């Protein structure tokens, strides 16, 4: 079983934060539990290497199947994800503005949704999926994916601008930068900064910062399950426990404790693995 973070090679790090690799194999007589997938401060290109994955919004009953490779915008609402008996996925987690730079698609059009990567990169991404399906070697898979990434980066329709570093600044621990300071870093007026940030990231700077802080909190709880919620809140930059509770209710529809108990039923927990 695999749940692993792998750094990208240096030549890709301007566009790629890391790879997340998941592989869970369940017996045929076992129904894999769904994953209650909550917001994360990330945009992704995800390859489903073996069995298909499906999803539904937490508040809607309709279940939708993902294609073999998807482009994910940022989410600020929870979803359920349903894997099958051989779930193997390689997720390319991009730098905050990279999805916009690689596709030219305004990121707010992808917020809380996805598109089939073939709709953007056609037979090129279809060929990569075929290569991934034909090997069991993770090393070979990453080589195929990185060759593809190098190719689409060369064809990138957008140029880097100062604002494209701002999302990365927000991801830094305890960045302590005000909206005005972030706008200054972008060499833009406050109004232009908000407009350009949402075009590149898909949500406002404040929302992106909230999602990042929330993600840090649930990963910290997984890493330190003995810590109480006030300790988690203060360690992750919240003013107090109630401040943390508000984000949990907004992003999970649950209290912190209820979400933690829900996450303990996630597929990876069957194999004694947690997201940290």
Q: Please tell me the total count of domains within the chain.
A: 3
Which pLDDT score is estimated for 145?
98
276 falls within a domain: no
pLDDT digits (tens, 9 = 90+) for 95-153: 999 999 999 999 999 999 999 999 999 999 999 999 999 999 999 999 999 999 999 99
- Domain co-membership, 62 together with 99: yes
Same domain, residue pair 167 and 58: no
pLDDT at 67 over 90: yes
Q: Is the same domain home to 233 and 261?
A: yes
| CATH number assigned to the domain comprising residue 72 | 2.60.120.10
Regarding whether 175 and 99 lie in a shared domain, the answer is no
CATH number of the domain to which 236 belongs: 1.10.10.60
Is 142 part of any domain? yes
Residues 9 and 136 in one domain: yes
Tokens of 79: 């979803």
Average pLDDT over residues 41-50: 97
Taking only the tens place, the pLDDT of each residue in 230-261 is 999 999 999 999 999 999 999 999 999 999 99
Q: What average pLDDT is seen over the chain? A: 96
Q: What share of the chain is helix, strand, coil (3-state, %, to 5)?
A: 45, 20, 35
The whole domain housing 229 covers 206-271
State whether 139 and 11 are in the same domain.
yes
**Tens-place pLDDT, residues 8-27:** 999 999 999 999 999 999 99
User: Is it the case that residue 175 has pLDDT exceeding 90?
Assistant: no
Angstrom distances, CA of residue 67 to CA of 119, 123, 129, 209, 260 = 11, 14, 10, 30, 30
For residue 156, give the nearest of 119, 102, 118 by alpha carbon: 102
Please check whether residues 120 and 248 belong to one and the same domain: no
Residues 239 and 189 both lie in one domain: no
Closest CA to 100 of 16, 227, 186, 199: 199
Quick one: 93 and 188 in the same domain?
A: no
């Amino acid at each position: 079983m695999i749940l692993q973070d792998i750094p990208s090679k240096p030549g890709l790090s301007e566009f790629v934060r890391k790879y997340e690799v998941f592989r869970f194999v369940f017996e045929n007589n076992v129904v894999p539990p769904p994953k209650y997938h909550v917001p994360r401060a990330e945009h992704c290109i995800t390859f489903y290497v073996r069995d298909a994955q499906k999803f539904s919004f937490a508040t809607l009953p309709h279940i939708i199947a993902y294609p073999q490779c998807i482009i994910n915008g940022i989410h600020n609402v929870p979803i359920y994800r349903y894997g099958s008996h051989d779930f193997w996925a390689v997720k390319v987690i991009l730098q905050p503005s990279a999805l916009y730079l690689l596709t030219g698609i305004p990121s707010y059009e992808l917020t809380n949704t996805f598109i089939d990567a073939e709709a953007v990169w056609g037979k090129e991404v279809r060929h990569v999926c075929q290569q991934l399906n034909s090997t069991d070697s993770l090393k070979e898979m990453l080589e195929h994916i990185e060759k593809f990434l190098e190719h689409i980066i060369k064809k990138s329709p957008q140029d880097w601008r100062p604002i494209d570093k701002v999302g990365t600044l927000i991801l830094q621990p305890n960045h302590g930068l005000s909206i005005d300071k972030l706008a200054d870093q972008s060499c833009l007026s406050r109004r232009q900064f908000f407009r350009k940030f949402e075009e590149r990231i898909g949500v406002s700077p404040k929302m992106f910062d909230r999602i990042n802080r929330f993600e840090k909190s649930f990963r910290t709880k997984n890493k330190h399950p003995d810590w109480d919620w006030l300790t988690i809140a203060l360690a992750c930059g919240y003013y107090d426990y109630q401040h943390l509770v508000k984000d949990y209710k907004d992003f999970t529809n649950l209290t912190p404790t209820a979400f933690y108990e829900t996450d303990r039923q996630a597929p990876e927990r069957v194999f004694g693995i947690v997201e940290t």
